[in-house]
Structures are given as C-alpha cells and as structure tokens.
C-alpha cells in the first residue's frame, strides 16, 4: 500500500478495514450511477429493480444498509473505547462521554434505517398545515425512474433541528477526541470526516433548489444525490477509522505483547 495510507493507518487491521470500507463506498456510488444510466437508456423491469436496490436517493436498500452499518460500527467503537479506558484504569472525569457519543451514533443509525427525519418533516408540515406547491421532476429524472416531487419549501424543516443539535454535539465530540487522541493522523481523519458530515447537511439543504434547477435540459437533483451521499459515506468511513486508530493504540497500550497485529 502507498506510504501515505500507511501513515494514516499504522495498524494493519485498521488499514485493511479502511480499504474495504472506502472500496465499498465507491462501489455503492458507482452502482447507483450505473443503475440510473441503465434505467434511462434501457428502461425495463430489470433496470427498475436495480435502481430500487442501488439508488442512493431511495430507502430500505443496499446504500441505506451500508450507511446505517457504518454508523452502528462507529457507535460500537465508541463503546469499545470506553471499555478499553475503563479496563486500563483511566480516571478521566469525562470518560463516560464515549457512551454519550455511542448513543448519538446509535440514533443516527436508527434514523438512517427508519428515516425518522423524513417523518419529522411530515409531522412539522402537518402541524403548521403548510400547503405543498409540488413541482414534478421532469426530463431525464423521470426517465430514470426518479419520480420525485419537490415541495414548495426552500429548506427541509428537520434541518432546523438537526443542524444546531448535531453541530453542537459534533463540535463537542471533536474537542473531546482531540484531547484524547495523540496521533495527528487520527485527529486529521476525524476532522475531515466531520467536515464531510457538515457538507452533507449543506448539500441536503440544497435539494429543494436542485429539484427545480435545470442545466443543459437536465435536473441537478441526480448529481446532488450523488455528491450528498458520497460525502456521507466518505465521512462515516473517516470518522470510524479515526476511532479505530485510537482504539488500536489503546489496545497496544493495554497489552503490547498480546494485542500486536
């Protein structure tokens, strides 16, 4: 493997895990693109099934499972770090924060599979009784089986809750992690991963605009989905592997001879 990759991931098992996850994330995005192209030019029942299974803009399929699984692994890794510090006799007064971060990513994993944020949007719309001025997606998007409608709102309502809450918790976690992790590589991976999460939310907020924007007679929503989910997958992998780096170092400190890989 390239030297920079080894520098970012000194432990062999973390390096292999990162390589697998990055490859899977890229594979999911490429599979989505291939499914969209096939369904556009060779539309049929088989291509529709492929789009349903690989579409990053849809729910209850392979991309959803991949994203939710990474979030679950992040939660489990935070829990493992807490146990490792407890076994190692760590007396840090805020050690239990790892359990809080574990709970946060457990919720995000649940949200990814249950689409809680979508139901929250529906609830907000029902409460405020805002009429929907729907604009159907036409042209290439419809031909690709993406029969989506854009509501008249400019920003998804759930973002008004998620952005400040997740932003505050993300900053708190980053500050905590930077005090706990000693390796520059781990800190860098974590920081870039959190940046990808933030950009994902920014792109998500642009979806209503992308539904209605045409470029060369083509709706930008298709590309928006690809960028948004690509950032999400990449950010998840970076955060997970940064935490695995920290966990691997913790294991070595606990028992260098027993846990060396």
Q: How many domains does the chain have?
A: 1
Q: Which residue has the tokens 């400019």?
A: 154
Domain-embedded: residue 259: no
More confident residue, 243 or 153: 243
Query: Is it the case that residue 76 has pLDDT exceeding 80?
Result: yes
Instruction: Report whether pLDDT(154) > 60.
Output: no
27: tokens are 């594979």
Q: Is residue 154 part of a domain?
A: yes
pLDDT in tens, 162-207: 778 888 888 899 899 988 888 899 999 999 999 999 999 888 888 8
What pLDDT score was predicted for residue 59? Answer: 86
Domain extent at residue 184: 3-254
CA distance 148 to 138: 9
Residue 239 pLDDT class (50, 70, 90 cuts): very high
Has residue 260 been placed in a domain? no
DSSP assignment string, 53-68? HH-TTSSSSHHHHHHH
**Is the residue at 10 inside a domain?**
yes
Is residue 155 assigned to a domain?
Answer: yes
- Residue 186: inside a domain: yes
Q: Is residue 184 part of a domain?
A: yes
Q: What is the pTM of this model?
A: 0.82
Residue 84 belongs to a domain:
yes
Burial class (CB in 10 A: 0-12, 13-18, 19+), 22: middle
Q: What is the mean pLDDT of residues 17-37?
A: 96
Q: Kindly report the CA angle at 158 between 157 and 163, in degrees rounded to 5?
A: 110
Write out pLDDT tens, residues 81-140: 999 888 877 766 778 899 999 999 999 999 888 877 666 666 666 777 655 444 444 333
Q: How confident is the model at residue 142 (pLDDT cuts 50, 70, 90)?
A: very low
């Amino acid at each position: 493997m390239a030297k920079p990759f080894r520098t970012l991931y000194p432990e062999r098992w973390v390096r292999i895990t990162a390589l697998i996850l990055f490859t899977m994330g890229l594979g999911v995005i490429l599979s989505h693109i291939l499914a969209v192209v096939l369904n556009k030019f060779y539309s049929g029942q088989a291509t529709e099934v492929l789009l349903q299974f690989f579409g990053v803009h849809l729910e209850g399929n392979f991309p959803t499972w991949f994203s939710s699984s990474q979030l679950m692994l992040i939660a489990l890794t935070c829990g493992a770090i807490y146990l490792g510090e407890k076994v190692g006799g760590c007396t840090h007064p805020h050690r239990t924060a790892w359990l809080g971060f574990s709970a946060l990513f457990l919720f995000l994993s649940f949200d990814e599979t249950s689409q809680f944020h979508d139901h929250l949007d529906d609830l907000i719309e029902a409460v405020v009784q805002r009429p929907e001025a729907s604009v159907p997606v036409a042209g290439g998007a419809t031909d690709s089986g993406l029969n989506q409608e854009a509501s008249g709102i400019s920003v998804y309502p759930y973002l008004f809750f998620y952005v400040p809450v997740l932003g505050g918790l993300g900053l708190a976690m980053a500050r905590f992690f930077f005090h706990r992790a000693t390796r520059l590589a781990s800190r860098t991976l974590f920081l870039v991963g959190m940046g990808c999460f933030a950009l994902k939310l920014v792109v998500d907020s642009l979806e209503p605009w992308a539904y209605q924007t045409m470029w060369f007679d083509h709706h930008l929503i298709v590309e928006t989905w690809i960028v948004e989910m690509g950032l999400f997958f990449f950010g998840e992998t970076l955060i997970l592997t940064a935490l695995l780096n920290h966990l691997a170092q913790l294991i070595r400190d606990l028992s260098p001879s027993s846990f060396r890989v």
